[in-house]
Amino acid sequence: MAGGGESSGAAPFSGRPGEAGAEVRDGGPEDEAERAAAERALSGAGRVYAAVGIGRARHARVDGDAPRRRRGDRNPPRRDQDVPPSAPAPEPPPTGAWDDGLIARRVTEGTPAPEPVAVVETRGPTAQALAAPLAYDGPLRARLDALRELVGLSRTRLDSRTLAEAGRVLDEAAARRRLSGQHTVVAIAGATGSGKSQLFNSLAGVTISETGVRRPTTSAPIACSWSDGAASLLDRLGIPGRLRRRPVQSVEAEAQLRGLVLIDLPDHDSAAVQHREQVDRVLALVDAVVWVVDPEKYADAVLHERYLRPMAGHAEVMFVVLNQTDRLPGEATEQVLDDLRRLLDEDGIALGEYGEPGATVLALSALTGDGVGELRDSLGQFVAERGAPARRIAADLDHAAAGLRPVYATRRRIGLSEQARDEFADRLAEAVGATAAGEAAERAWLRNANRACGTPWLRLWRWYQDRYDSPTGRLPVRNQADEEATARQRVEHAVRTLSERASTGLPAPWAQAVREAAVRGSQGLPEALDELAARAGLPPGRPPRPGWWPAAVLTQAAMTILQIVGGLWLAGQIVDVMAPNLGVPVLLMVLGIIGGPLVEWSCRMAARGPARRYGTDAERRLREAAAGCGRARVLDPVAAELLRYREVREQYARVTGVGAAAGAG
């Protein structure tokens, strides 16, 4: 059958002789003729190649038919070399049958579709098998993996709206990767009256999209594919089978634009809301965009503010075409084109000039055909590179990374310094009274030494004072409740200061997470410190005694004995019990009286070092206990949040395509 071909899983296309690409409505006489021809062909003997879908009828070929030429074959096989002599001659198609290069027609509504016929084909792989899945290069795969890891690490810290764009990019990248990498989906977008449908028809070489004065003219996206295997891509775009077309069969056009899937979109400024919604939906899924502007509306604020400026990062997959140049006199085309380039530069769109990557800017007239060939050549080269899908995903990735920058990037050093950690431990030690506990331990050691090495008379005097002196004039003892309140305030102040220092310079979500971790850890911290202070305070019993302590005690006892012996000797002389001899008893008493305090003073001097060490050890134990409690409850959770932020920042640096060191800046 002349011009027959396979739709490769897409819904059938239709047309009339003399109206290539136009859809034939159901119920016409031509449908009946086509169905009759198909039934006669299916009734013949020989190998059958047909595919019938639900509600659709596709043409069939018997052995007598000419073999179907694959797309791109420049030398079609000759009929006399392929048709067996015994094969019956095929019947000519009836008047009005498809002979215009389109695929097929739809089955008339109300007429039951024939039973599905199995596809039997032994000559090469199917078109869908030829559509190999898209393959991303190593850097792009690494960036997508980093974004996936980034989203996973951030779900508990960021809300779903913040991560929505990143999730969409991951989903679209995965969906596009499963589809054909041999096709490039290009959408033609423009405002009302810009002539995009006319340009669409000029590129296809056939009237496919309706044009006219009535606005809006295009009400739904229309697809035109230059090769088989694009059905899954069009299914992803949600374009129904009745709006899928094929261009005029031309070996040159198929070779030049093989792999191109062109989409004609509704007007992006249409008064119909559903039209604008369709434009936005399809623009988020296609591989590239051809923006069609006209001399009157090329500076339209809606176009630049809603579409071009937000899509500035997609310049490498963007064409900007100034249409209707036939309406501009003389050098006005170049002037308008220069002004259009200026506006694109203000939008932040890089222009692909002088070999630099960027958007392609062209001027043409779809009505006269002037410049359409240049656009066709540019599209052919663009499609032949097979890099548009990956560049589109990379641009989407850049856009998502730019949107996430405020919640990940910072130019300040983050983390807790050793000084901040030491100050936090000092504040907790102050709150738990570590210094006072050390001083108390030192005083207790000295007091114990004085009691052991002091003179009996001095100890008796101190005992008397402690027992019988009035407390009048002494410093008032602080209430225990006041001390606990003061300690709690000190703990809260220490935690608040630490969280402020740790969250300084962090993006808002991570700073909030650090503060929340510190607040959670501070709950119950004062009580835990009190319990630790009770356990790590002074050990039960008396403080340890140094080795010289027994000698000092014996010496003090000897001085006391000398005083007693000298006194008794003098008393015996006074009562005439002993012979008079004042020198020896007086000397003994003087030695005892002077030696006792001298031994006590010496012991006090010698006890200062051990007492200080004893107090220092007690303070150190309490400080370590307080620091350990603060580290377990506050420092470790805060450090974990900071570590998580460092991880996500490194992943974000990989997403942006730079090293972790550069991303940390």
Beta carbons of 134 and 181 less than 8 angstroms apart: yes
Asked which of 231-245, 312-326, 476-490 is least confident by mean pLDDT, the reply is 476-490
Q: Bridge partners of 351?
A: 359
Q: What is the pLDDT of residue 69?
A: 36
Position 658 confidence tier, pLDDT thresholds 50, 70, 90? confident
Q: Is residue 613's pLDDT more than 60?
A: yes
Q: What is the pLDDT of residue 443?
A: 80
What residues have CB less than 8 Å from 198, skipping those under 6 apart?
211, 323, 366, 367
- The set of long-range contacts for 152-161, using a CB threshold of 8 Å and a minimum separation of 24, is 153/644, 153/647, 153/648, 153/651, 154/407, 154/648, 157/509, 157/510, 157/513, 157/644, 158/407, 158/509
Q: Bridge partners of 224?
A: 245, 262
Q: Which residue has the tokens 């191109």?
A: 260
Coil, helix or strand at residue 462? helix
Sign of the dihedral defined by the CA atoms of residues 342, 343, 348, 350, in that order = negative
Beta carbons of 82 and 66 less than 8 angstroms apart: yes
Asked which of 269-278, 304-313, 596-605 is least confident by mean pLDDT, the reply is 596-605
Beta carbons of 569 and 557 less than 8 angstroms apart: no
What residues have CB less than 8 Å from 105, skipping those under 6 apart?
12, 14, 15, 24, 30, 31, 34, 57, 98
> What are the pLDDT digits (tens) for 280-324?
999 999 999 999 999 999 999 999 999 999 999 999 999 999 999
Which strand (E) or helix (H) includes residue 322? Answer: strand 318-322
Considering only CA atoms, which of 393, 401, 405, 392 is closest in space to residue 166? 401
Q: What is the pLDDT of residue 377?
A: 93
Q: Which residue has the tokens 């070929």?
A: 61
User: Quick one: how far is CA 272 from the chain centroid?
Assistant: 35
Sign of the dihedral defined by the CA atoms of residues 267, 273, 275, 280, in that order = positive
Q: What is the pLDDT of residue 36?
A: 44
Compare 247 and 218 and report the one with higher pLDDT: 247
Q: Which two tokens stand for residue 90?
A: 């095929």
Q: Is residue 145's pLDDT more than 60?
A: yes
> What are the pLDDT digits (tens) for 499-520?
999 988 899 889 999 999 999 9
Question: What's the rounded mean pLDDT across residues 2-16?
Answer: 34
Residue count (the chain): 665
What residues have CB less than 8 Å from 148, skipping those under 6 apart?
170
Say which DSSP state 16 is in.
B
Q: Which residue has the tokens 């809603």?
A: 306
> What are the pLDDT digits (tens) for 177-200?
999 999 999 999 999 989 999 999
| Residue 473, phi-psi category: left (phi > 0), alpha (psi -120 to 50), beta (remainder) | left
Position 452 confidence tier, pLDDT thresholds 50, 70, 90? low
Q: Which residue has the tokens 């070092």?
A: 609
Question: What's the rounded mean pLDDT across residues 26-51?
Answer: 37
Report the C-alpha gap between 84 and 69 in whole angstroms. 17
> What are the pLDDT digits (tens) for 357-366?
999 999 999 9
Asked which of 423-432, 522-531, 591-600 is least confident by mean pLDDT, the reply is 591-600
Q: Is residue 472's pLDDT more than 50?
A: no
Q: What is the pLDDT of residue 165?
A: 93
High-pLDDT (> 90) share of the chain, %: 35
Q: Burial of 565 by CB count in 10 Å (0-12 exposed, 13-18 middle, 19+ buried)? A: middle
Position 204 confidence tier, pLDDT thresholds 50, 70, 90? confident
In the chain, the amino acid numbered 310 is: P
Q: What is the pLDDT of residue 305?
A: 94
Q: Is residue 31's pLDDT more than 80?
A: no
Q: What is the pLDDT of residue 211?
A: 61
Count CB-CB contacts under 10 A for residue 83. Answer: 16
> What are the pLDDT digits (tens) for 85-103?
333 343 333 333 323 333 3
Report the C-alpha gap between 353 and 155 in whole angstroms. 42
Considering only CA atoms, which of 663, 644, 513, 665 is closest in space to residue 150? 644
Position 56 confidence tier, pLDDT thresholds 50, 70, 90? very low
Please spell the DSSP secondary structure of 275-297, one letter per residue: HHHHHHHHHTT-SEEEEEE-TTT
Q: Is residue 637's pLDDT more than 60?
A: yes
Report the C-alpha gap between 664 and 537 in whole angstroms. 45
Considering only CA atoms, which of 317, 318, 322 is closest in space to residue 372? 322
Most confident of 93-107, 230-244, 531-545: 230-244
Compare 603 and 190 and report the one with higher pLDDT: 190
Q: Is residue 139's pLDDT more than 80?
A: yes
> What are the pLDDT digits (tens) for 159-173?
889 999 999 999 999
Report the C-alpha gap between 200 and 209 in whole angstroms. 7
Mean pLDDT, rounded, of the chain:
75
Task: Give the pairing type, strands 260-264 and 222-225.
Answer: antiparallel
Please spell the DSSP secondary structure of 442-493, one letter per residue: HHHHHHHHHHHHS-HHHHHHHHHHHHHS--TTSPPPPPHHHHHHHHHHHHHH
Q: Which two tokens stand for residue 56?
A: 């659709």
pTM over 0.75: no
Q: What is the pLDDT of residue 50?
A: 31
Q: Is residue 43's pLDDT more than 90?
A: no
What residues have CB less than 8 Å from 208, skipping those under 6 apart?
21, 22, 200, 201, 222, 224, 245, 247, 264
How large is the C-alpha radius of gyration of the chain?
A: 48
Q: What is the pLDDT of residue 219?
A: 78
Q: Which two tokens stand for residue 49?
A: 């190649």
Beta carbons of 438 and 626 less than 8 angstroms apart: no
Considering only CA atoms, which of 4, 159, 155 is closest in space to residue 66? 4
What residues have CB less than 8 Å from 456, skipping those under 6 apart?
560
In the chain, the amino acid numbered 88 is: P
Question: What's the rounded mean pLDDT across residues 133-151?
Answer: 92
Q: Which two tokens stand for residue 357?
A: 């990557």
Q: What is the pLDDT of residue 591?
A: 79
What residues have CB less than 8 Å from 211, skipping those under 6 apart?
195, 197, 198, 201, 217
Q: What is the pLDDT of residue 547?
A: 64
